[in-house]
Amino acid sequence: MRAPLIAGNWKMNGSLELVATFAEELSRTALPGGVEVALMVPFPYLEVARSRLPETVGVGAQTLSDQPSGAFTGEVSGGMLADLGVQMVLVGHSERRTLYREDDAAVLARVRAALGVGLVPVLCLGETLEERDAERTEAVVLGQLEAVLDALTADERQRLVLAYEPVWAIGTGRTATPDQAQQVHAAIRARLASYDAQLAETTKVLYGGSMKPSNAVELLAQPDIDGGLIGGASLQVDDFLAICHSAG
């Protein structure tokens, strides 16, 4: 059985004050049993988030360097994140793939860097609107998945979380319908099964792309959707908590 995971992706938003608000609310509100909760906050807030959020709430970063250390001005290594008690890191979010030109090789290098220091990589996959319109959704998403899985050992594959995020549903307010999302999640799970039946059984596949309280229940009810990677709605503590409760 896969425990649902609700992870907030703050992107380049938030403040110390917002971390404090979340810490206060998440400490005094009972989180639904059996639901894993995490917040992926900007680098400068990781340490305070880790020290102030309840221990049951995971803390994650939004990217990492593919290098362990050295003359890479402005970069942050996986080892530095691990030092702070960070547990997970987004890799291959479509904003990184598009705005920072991270291709499949760059994504794989970051997945390896995360695994090398014991972080859980949350590998994001998703197609653009043009690709969907050209009926290439599964080819694109499964291609992104294989580019990573083919290069990992069976043991490493077991340590990933996946997130399907249709690019056309990110920051646009548009959301995949539950059927559209489930179809892609089922294709991802079938591809996982082609590596190993147990991998398909245990890997969490989150849905991301404008998940909010009003659509979370239906999306999370789909058999192959194991949680959410939440953008804008993760900046409002009430909305985020409502989504966490939808998963319970």
Annotation-wise, does 10 bind a ligand?
A: yes
Q: Catalytic one among 102, 127, 131, 165?
A: 165
**Cβ–Cβ < 8 Å for 79, 69:** yes
Burial class, 152, CB count within 10 angstroms (exposed 0-12 / middle 13-18 / buried 19+): middle
Please tell me which residue in 93, 102, 127, 131 is annotated as part of the active site. Answer: 93
Q: Residue 239, interface with ligand 3PY (CB under 6 A)? A: no
Q: Which residue has the tokens 């404090």?
A: 20
Closest CA to 39 of 3, 5, 8: 8
Residue 248 near residue 36, CB atoms below 8 Å: no
Active site residue 93: yes
Q: How far is the CB of 241 from ligand 3PY (least distance, A)?
A: 17
In the complex, minimum distance from the CB of residue 177 to ligand 3PY, in angstroms, rounded to a whole number: 15
And the tokens for 228? 């959410």
Rounded to a whole number of angstroms, the minimum distance from the CB of residue 70 to ligand 3PY is 29
CA distances from 75 to 45, 67, 71, 72 (A): 16, 9, 9, 6
Q: Which of 123, 229, 244, 247 binds ligand 3PY (CB under 6 A)?
A: 229
Q: Quick check: helix, strand or coil at residue 191?
A: helix
Q: Tokens representing 5?
A: 């995971």
Residue 209 counted as an annotated binding residue? no
* Cβ distance to ligand 3PY smaller for residue 5 or 199: 5
Site string for ligand 3PY, 193-222 (x = CB under 6 A): ---------------xxx------------
One symbol per residue from 137 to 176: x for binding ligand 3PY (CB under 6 A), - otherwise; what is it? ----------------------------x----xx-----
Asked if 60 is part of the footprint of ligand 3PY (rule: CB under 6 A), the reply reads no
Helix, strand, coil share of the chain (percent; to 5): 50, 15, 35
Q: Which amino acids are annotated as binding site, given as ranges?
A: 9-11, 171, 210, 231-232
**Chain positions contacting ligand 3PY, by CB under 6 A:** 9, 165, 170-171, 208-210, 229, 231
